Amino acid sequence: MLTTSALSADAATALTGEELHALMARLYPICRSITGDGVRQTLDVVREYLPGLVVHEVPSGTPALDWTVPFEWNIRDAWVKNAAGVRVIDFRAHNLHVLQYSQPKHGWVARQELEEHLFSLPEQPDLIPYRTSYYQPNWGFCLSHHQRAQLQDEYYEVGIDSTLDPAGSLTYGELLLPGSSEEEVLLSCHCCHPSLANDNLSGMVVAVGLARWLAQVPRRYTYRFVFAPGTIGSIVWLSRNPAAVARIRHGLVLSLLGGEGGFTYKKSRRATAEIDRTVALMLRDMAVPHQVVDFIPYGYDERQYCSPGFNLPVGCLSRTPYAQFPEYHTSADNLAFVQPDVLAESLLLTQEVLAALDANCRYQNRHPYGEPELGRRGLYSPVGGASAHPDEQLALLWVLNLSDGQHSLLDIAERARLPFAQVQRAADRLLAHDLLILLPD
């Protein structure tokens, strides 16, 4: 069983913040999308860190709930050249320059027609926006508004060397870390964005760090990691895994965990699930800036896991939420925007959350009629009237009082307003002195 106290000493991390950032730097140049070789290359790198990762290929055209797996998109090059043959927009310079899922295109176009296929940000004129057209046939380019203002020629040569393959597939990765119980904790992140560091390479590298750490420690729950393209990936996973879905007891979507700002936890649709209470408690215990917000059916893949037919207890953990920081979905979401110490803090919080989930259980007080004599067991100060550690003794009394078979350690920590780790230590001490009975789940 995981213990929160084991984390507090040195965070017990398998990867440091610097190592997480180095992994991000390897993944950043890859042009990912909801299908294609970019996803495969990304998962190949992830598998170097997580050898047990299983990569699944789901053929294009496969029904998935109300959706269908799309054609596989790959791109080799894209450009806009002026009459002198100079690339004025160049995919090789930055992979955000092409509209994701752009159809193949080659030929000369008038500037007026080209303008209809250009995307820029007048309010952020130095930045390249990230834009997609996954399910509507289109082609286009993204560029800074300053670049766009310089396009004054009458005609431009457009080239998009891409393919949309009906015989392709959608790719996702899955890692299962068995515990003593078959009940599962789901950790999900999306792997479809191109060169965007916070959204969502940060979620991916924190998931890798979390899986590396979990693989090294005893576990009560079974932990399932899903690295899948946004929306369609989680829908495909849900459609293919009804048995696993039935075993999910807790879950988190990990996203936007590398930018500055306090944490944001978006509750599951259930609102009071154990995961919702645990994340809120760990945020309180870590004393970090944070907000806890209610579920809305918009955002990341939590809205698929929390759709009414599944209604899984899955929340979303991030820092500054999507669309609430100026770098969001632009070329400014780069490697410099994400700092190693921020990644390390995000990893530590997720570790604390999982450790608390894994350790949360119910006990029965073996001496419920009056307090048992703690002093003769060495659990209470031999001198009455003062205590060097009053909270430690108070935690013992709270655990004894609420260990009636109905209250979990989470319940006790919430009601006593004590850190979960302190309550867990108290329970461990009382159990060691045969004052408690561990009850089955």
Residues marked as binding for Zn(2+)?
193, 199, 329
* CA gap 371, 184 in Å, rounded: 37
* CA gap 268, 257 in Å, rounded: 18
From the list 131, 146, 143, 156, the residue with the least C-alpha distance to 90 is 143
Contact 285, 420 (CB under 8 A): yes
Binding-site positions read 193, 199, 329
Contact 13, 345 (CB under 8 A): no
| Number of Cβ atoms within 10 Å of the Cβ of 47 | 16
CA 367 to centroid of chain Cα atoms? 43
**Could you tell me how many helices (H) and strands (E) the chain has, helices first?**
14, 19
Task: Give the position of tokens 């015989």.
Answer: 167
* CA gap 319, 263 in Å, rounded: 4
Contacts of 197 (CB under 8 A, 6+ apart): 24, 28, 258, 333, 334, 335, 337, 338
Concatenating the DSSP letter of every residue in 119-180 gives E--TTSTT--B--B-SSS----EE--HHHHHT---SEEEEEEEEEEETT-EEEEEEEEE--S
